[in-house]
Amino acid sequence: MGWFSRFFAAVTFLAVGVVFSPETFGSKSDGLRWPAILTFVKLAHLLSFATAWGSALWVTFIGGIIMFKHLPRHQFGNLQSKMFPAYFTLVGVCCAISVAAFAYSHPYKTASAVEKYQLGFLLSAFAFSLTNLAVFTPMTIEMMKQRHKVERENKIGEEVGRSKNLEVAKKDPKLAAMNKKFGMIHGLSSLSNIIAFGSLAMHSWYFAGKIDL
C-alpha cells in the first residue's frame, strides 16, 4: 500500500468517525463557540497528543534499543541521524497543535490551576522538542559524523552492540576527546527528550482522569 493509499484510508476512517459523532452536528452553543467546533478542537488535541506520546514512547524506550542491539553501530548512528530530525519535528508539531487546542478549550483567564499546569506541561514538551530539533540534534549529528571518521581510521564501528570505541580511545587522545564532547552533547539531547516525554506523561495522567469509562 502506497503513501497516498494509506493517507486516504486514514482520512476516510476519520471522516466516518466524524459523521457518527453525536456532537458533530449539535445545535446547542457554548458561549460563542459551537459544539461542533469544540469537538474538532478536542479531536485535534486528542490525536496530536496521542501521536506525540506514542512516538516518544516508541523512539525513547523501544525502537532505539532494538536498533542498537541489532544494527552495526555506524549504520545505527546514520539511521538515527535521519530519524531524529523527523521525530522531533513530528513531536514538536503535535505539541504545538495540542497547546493551541488546549488553550482554546481552556481559556487562561478562566482556567483552573490544574488546567494552567497542564498547559505548562504541553508547552514544556513543545519547547524541549523544539530545542532538540534546532540545537542539540544538529550538533549531535555533526559530532557523530566526525567521530565516525576517526573510528573508520581505527577500523572500528561496524560491530553490533557493545562498541570497541572505549578500548581504542585509551590509545587515541583525539578519539577520547571526541567521545567526551559527543557524550556531553548527546546527554543534553537525551535529557531534553526525557523532559519532553515526562511532560507528556504528566498530561496523560490528566487525560486519564477525564475519561469516563
Average pLDDT in the 44-49 region? 94
pLDDT at 95: 96
Residue 134 has pLDDT above 50, yes or no: yes
Amino acid at 47: L
Which helix (H) or strand (E) segment holds residue 147: the answer is: helix 137-153
Which helix (H) or strand (E) segment holds residue 200: the answer is: helix 173-210
Q: What's the whole-model pTM score?
A: 0.85
Is residue 30 very low, low, confident or very high in pLDDT (cuts 50, 70, 90)? very low
Residue 25 has pLDDT above 70, yes or no: no
**Rounded Cα–Cα distance for residues 31 and 169 (Å):** 66
Helices (H), ranges, the chain: 3-19, 35-58, 64-70, 73-105, 113-131, 137-153, 165-169, 173-210
**Average pLDDT of the chain, as a whole number:** 88
Domain boundaries in the chain? Answer: 2-209
Higher pLDDT: 104 or 1? It is 104
Find the distance separating the first CA and the last CA of the chain, reported in whole Å.
35
Give me the residue label for grid cell 514538551: 125
Query: Which residues contact residue 124 at a Cβ distance below 8 angstroms, ignoring those fewer than 6 apart?
Result: 195, 196, 199
C-alpha cell at 27: 445545535
